[in-house]
Amino acid sequence: MYVLFSLFALCAPISLMARHLEWSFPPELLSTEGVNASWPKIGIDPTGNVVAVWMESGIVKSRSKSLMGEWGYAATLSNEGASSVRLVVDLEGNATAIWLENGTVNAAVKPSAGYWGSYAVISSAGASSCQLALDASGNVAAIWVRNGNIEAATKLAGQSWPSTPDIILTTEATTPYIAIGTNGTIAAIWTSFVDSVKRIHAATKVLNENWSNEFPISTPNQNCGYPKAAVDSNGNVMAAWYRFDDNGSEYANVILQIATKSLNDAWTSPMDMSKPGIRIPADVLVRYDGYGNAILLWSNSYDGSKFNLEERIKPKGQPWSNSETVVINFYQCNQDLAVGSAGDAIFLNLSSGESSSLFINCMSSNLNSFHSGYWGDTFLISIGDRNAYPRVALITNENSIYTAAVWVNYNGTNTAIHAVTGEGTVLTPPTDLDVSQVANNLGVFTEYYNVISWQPNPLSEILGYAVYRNGLFLQLVDADMNQYIDHNRKQNEEVTYGIASVASVYYQGPFAYVTYYPAKRQLNSIAEE
């Protein structure tokens, strides 16, 4: 495992040994012993209640638990012939699952303190490729392909699914994806065949309103595929996909591209986000946090065999970072990413060991502190040496971070579903920030320096504070320090400082900010909005 960047390599005085999250270990077996299981999905609510679903022999199964409790019995949600199960869990702990069953999309709901109800059929026959999305208010949106058309349905919180789905497109379509923001903006994205070329199309709507006309957002005459999308709290949409040249099974110029759309504006032109690769990895992760920071994580191959895992970060109101390599030379591109409202991010990836061993690893950090882009310590959360298809969920409340993960394990006899849960403390920034400028008359010239002070974070696991000036890292100071002196500043120059708590060798929390203004001091010690 290769981690590209660490602030702490620049400043060695602090011994950083604490872990940001504590995971349960060893993993627990969720599926029926001796029965092949697949398609694991997981969700978690702000009080730590966890719901998992998976497939066993063509039947949808589910188990749930409180964070510190035991897993309950396995409930059966479907008849035989099911596949492609999807799951979301809202902030009240209500779970919604959809799956394909003999050509229809079926859906079931589990109340927070109750049991799974009977399933409802929400599509006509001929459906495939279903996807599911959830907003912060508990509204759920589903999308699927039926007879080459894109269909979708929206279930408002506490209500039933509509009797008739929406038909968005009447052209040959594949690989749909749906995303919904906290303001109710829904984005649908998919691949269509237009004049024998694979194009990326999209449509948007707001909850009860009608869908917009579908619109091609990729470049004409370029094959594209594997689209994903995300919507932020203001209704801004980001779509990502791969463009490629192909000749049968040979691929070239495999480039990750994005297009964006603000609430009332048109889609932007496609923008290249990666170097050209030579193999279709088909796995890109697109996320916004609650502050509007964006992250792209994708895999690409430059030798036709191994993959590199790469990322780009876009802090709110700033340009995209350069592409960074997070992991190099891995053989499979299974990965998942969960981002919380406060920017906390958990990333699971599949790593290859000796003799083709496959392990599930976890890394964490906070998007609100990704100004230079890095991930943290790598923790092994799986057992055995045949693991794949990890899925992770994360939720943040006022004081705690709760997370849960599931994956497929092969035990030598059959595939099984393994699960772990994790808990951490919200890493809040220091408070009561202040800044002042001091003139130091040295006789031959006058030096001006800024003094930044703060009230330390009382958490015992705080090991230091990272200090930034105008978004650029300056220094890491000890946990018992409550000020930083920034020498050789211009007189009365406006400058903004960010201070973030640090709790492990790589984990850094969100910022608090303070700005020194010319001719006066005006303090702003709240975390970035």
Per the CB < 8 A criterion, the answer to whether 397 and 93 are in contact is no
292: left (phi over 0), alpha (psi -120 to 50) or beta: left
pLDDT of residue 276: 95
Per the CB < 8 A criterion, the answer to whether 273 and 240 are in contact is yes
pLDDT of residue 442: 84
pLDDT in tens, the chain (529 residues): 233 223 333 332 222 223 467 889 999 999 999 999 999 999 999 999 999 999 999 999 999 998 779 999 999 999 999 999 999 999 999 999 999 999 999 999 999 989 999 999 999 999 999 999 999 999 999 999 999 999 999 999 999 999 999 999 777 899 999 999 988 999 999 999 888 899 999 999 999 899 999 999 999 999 999 999 999 999 999 999 999 998 777 889 999 999 999 988 899 999 999 999 998 877 899 999 988 889 999 998 888 888 888 999 988 888 898 888 887 767 667 899 999 888 888 999 887 765 577 899 898 877 776 544 467 668 899 999 999 999 999 998 878 899 999 999 999 999 999 999 999 888 888 999 999 999 988 878 889 999 999 999 888 778 889 898 987 889 889 999 999 999 999 999 999 999 988 876 557 777 889 999 886 544 443 344 3
Q: What is the DSSP letter of 463?
A: -
In angstroms, what CA-CA distances link 451 with 424, 437, 514?
A: 32, 6, 11
DSSP 447-462: EEEEEEEEEPP--TT-
pLDDT of residue 458: 86
Per-residue HEC secondary structure of 275-308 comes to: CCECCCCCCEEEEECCCCCEEEEEEECCCCCCEE
Q: What is the DSSP letter of 125?
A: S
Q: Is 210 helix (H, G, I), strand (E, B) or coil?
A: coil
What span, in angstroms and rounded, lies between the C-alpha atoms of 305 and 140?
39
DSSP 326-370: EEEEES---EEEEE-TTSEEEEEEEEE-GGG-EEEEEEEEEGGG-
What span, in angstroms and rounded, lies between the C-alpha atoms of 458 and 430?
9
In the chain the first and final C-alpha atoms are separated, in Å, by 33
What span, in angstroms and rounded, lies between the C-alpha atoms of 262 and 162?
28
Q: Tens digit of pLDDT for each residue in 79-110? A: 999 999 999 999 999 999 999 999 999 999 99
Q: What is the DSSP letter of 34?
A: T
Dig out the tokens for 478 from the structure.
């000890």
